């Protein structure tokens, strides 16, 4: 009952000074709104990056040659010949934590259809490559394993290649295109994927059997890389360890020696981007929290003013039997009410701000429950922390001196 009375008294004191209370809340409102908006932007960015990486294949694993030095010159990975079809067959047959495996070779050149041409990249893969990259064929079909074995001159093209070659709206499926003057029959068109995390156009691509690219375009018998997908994203690291063990044994890599291959999983990339995103979010929140700190100082300042203005009232209450703890709780509750009310308005403002940021600026945002809970908790702590000293000052006043105060 005593607490309810103190709450009523504190509420009335705030209502009597509405404008001052609102101005005091302003710092807390701006601080909380900024914190929620910054957390939403940070979380939205992380989710957006993770979604983009997942669209490339979140459980994808890539095995590439390790760069070597010959005569003091570091060779490019594409020139290394340490990966072979034997490695691909070994991984495909013995790795238990993989669902799909594809060799990969690539080259660049001019794609030609009629009088139109377009500079692009051709990737030599097998049909499992689409499942690894989480890709679908929008029109037509993917080439088959039989066409891979026979090194058929067939290809699947991306949307960008289609738009730049088939400018009159022709159906590419069944048409003949040329890549560096080698004819390829188009069997399908890939669905649109857009740019990846690094700003590369994923639709500017031509996929063909790796056997065809090796023989007809590159004239090589080694692989530039091997791409695989783990059973699940959670098992990517175990899959990497399994492949490493198989490759070490196959390539006779001694313990402690530098391997002639390198294995990377998307889990590493996701982890790197997530760490960067979290650091950026913390930085944004730290900047936004300055407003909250200023709001807390504003609460302390106003509570000091309130104590000074109500010194006679405090003395009178103490004289008629109020305890020091009652006075302390009264002013502390008043500070907390100002802080929490400002926090509530700040939450509404912050959530509204994230909506406009996403709609108007097209930035990815995601308001999480924990950001709202943290904001309310910080508001309560701010009220207690910055309201405690003025409340304690009021409670320690001498009743006689307080009643004499003019």
Distance between CA atoms of residues 63 and 211, nearest Å: 18
Reference 193, options 113, 112, 137, 123; nearest CA is 137
Domain that holds residue 297: 2-52+272-404
81 lies in some domain: no
Distance between CA atoms of residues 373 and 357, nearest Å: 21
Same domain, 167 and 218: yes
Reference 163, options 186, 189, 141; nearest CA is 189
State if pTM tops 0.75: no
- Rounded to the nearest integer, the mean pLDDT of the chain is 82
Domain boundary among 230, 248, 281: 230
CB 10 within 8 A of CB 334: yes
Same domain, 145 and 21: no
- The secondary structure element, H or E, covering residue 29 is helix 18-55
- In this prediction, residue 159 carries a pLDDT of 93
- Strand extents, DSSP E, 82-216: 98-113, 116-125, 137-140, 154-157, 176-179, 182-190, 205-209
CA atoms within a 13 Å half-sphere pointing along the CA-CB vector of 273: 21
Domains of the chain: total: 2
Same domain, 190 and 282: no
Same domain, 46 and 124: no
- In this prediction, residue 154 carries a pLDDT of 96
Cβ contacts of residue 200 below 8 Å, gap of 6+?
none
Mean pLDDT, to the nearest integer, of 124-153? Answer: 93
State the sign of the Cα–Cα–Cα–Cα dihedral 66, 69, 75, 81: negative
Mean pLDDT, to the nearest integer, of 82-102? Answer: 92
**Number of other CB atoms surrounding residue 64 within 10 Å:** 20
Same domain, 44 and 112: no
Mean pLDDT, to the nearest integer, of 57-86? Answer: 69
Measured between its terminal Cα atoms, the distance across the chain in Å is 32
Reference 226, options 200, 262, 271; nearest CA is 262
321 lies in some domain: yes
Same domain, 206 and 288: no
Q: Is the pLDDT higher at 381 or at 317?
A: 381
Reference 196, options 77, 363, 51; nearest CA is 51
- Rounded to the nearest 5°, which phi and psi values hold at 193? -120, -25
Reference 222, options 167, 176, 266, 261; nearest CA is 261
Residue 27 has pLDDT above 90, yes or no: no
DSSP track, 125-143: E-TTHHHHTT--EEEE-PP
């Amino acid at each position: 009952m005593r607490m309810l009375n103190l709450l009523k008294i504190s509420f009335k004191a705030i209502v009597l000074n509405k404008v001052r209370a609102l101005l005091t809340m302003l710092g807390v409102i701006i601080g909380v709104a900024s914190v929620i908006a910054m957390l939403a932007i940070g979380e939205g960015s992380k989710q957006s990056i993770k979604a983009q990486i997942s669209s490339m294949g979140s459980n994808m694993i890539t095995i590439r040659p390790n760069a070597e030095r010959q005569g003091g010159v570091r060779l490019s990975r594409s020139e290394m010949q340490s990966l072979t079809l034997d490695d691909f067959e070994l991984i495909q047959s013995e790795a238990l934590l993989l669902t799909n495996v594809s060799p990969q070779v690539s080259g660049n050149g001019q794609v030609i259809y009629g009088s139109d041409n377009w500079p692009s990249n051709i990737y030599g893969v097998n049909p499992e490559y689409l499942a690894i990259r989480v890709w679908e064929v929008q029109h037509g079909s993917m080439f088959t394993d039989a066409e891979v074995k026979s090194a058929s001159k067939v290809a699947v093209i991306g949307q960008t290649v289609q738009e730049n070659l088939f400018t009159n709206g022709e159906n590419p499926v069944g048409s003949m295109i040329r890549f560096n003057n080698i004819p390829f029959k188009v069997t399908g068109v890939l669905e649109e994927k857009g740019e990846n995390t690094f700003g590369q156009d994923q639709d500017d691509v031509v996929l063909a059997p790796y056997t065809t690219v090796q023989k007809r375009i590159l004239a090589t018998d080694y692989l530039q890389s091997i791409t695989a997908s783990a059973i699940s994203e959670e098992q990517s690291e175990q899959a990497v360890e399994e492949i490493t063990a198989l490759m070490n044994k196959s390539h006779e890599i001694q313990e402690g020696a530098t391997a002639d291959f390198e294995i990377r999983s998307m889990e590493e990339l996701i982890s790197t981007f997530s760490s960067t995103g979290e650091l950026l979010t913390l930085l944004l929140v730290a900047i936004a929290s300055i407003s909250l700190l200023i709001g807390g100082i504003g609460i302390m300042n106003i509570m000091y003013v309130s104590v000074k203005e109500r010194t006679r009232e405090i003395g009178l209450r103490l004289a008629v039997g109020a305890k020091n703890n009652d006075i302390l709780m009264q002013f502390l509750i008043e500070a907390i009410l100002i802080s929490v009310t400002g926090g509530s308005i700040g939450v509404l403002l912050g959530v509204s701000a994230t909506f406009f940021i996403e709609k108007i600026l097209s930035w990815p945002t995601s308001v999480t429950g924990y950001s709202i809970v943290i904001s309310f908790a910080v508001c309560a702590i701010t009220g207690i922390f910055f309201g405690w000293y003025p409340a304690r000052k009021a409670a320690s006043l001498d009743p006689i001196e307080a009643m004499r105060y003019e």
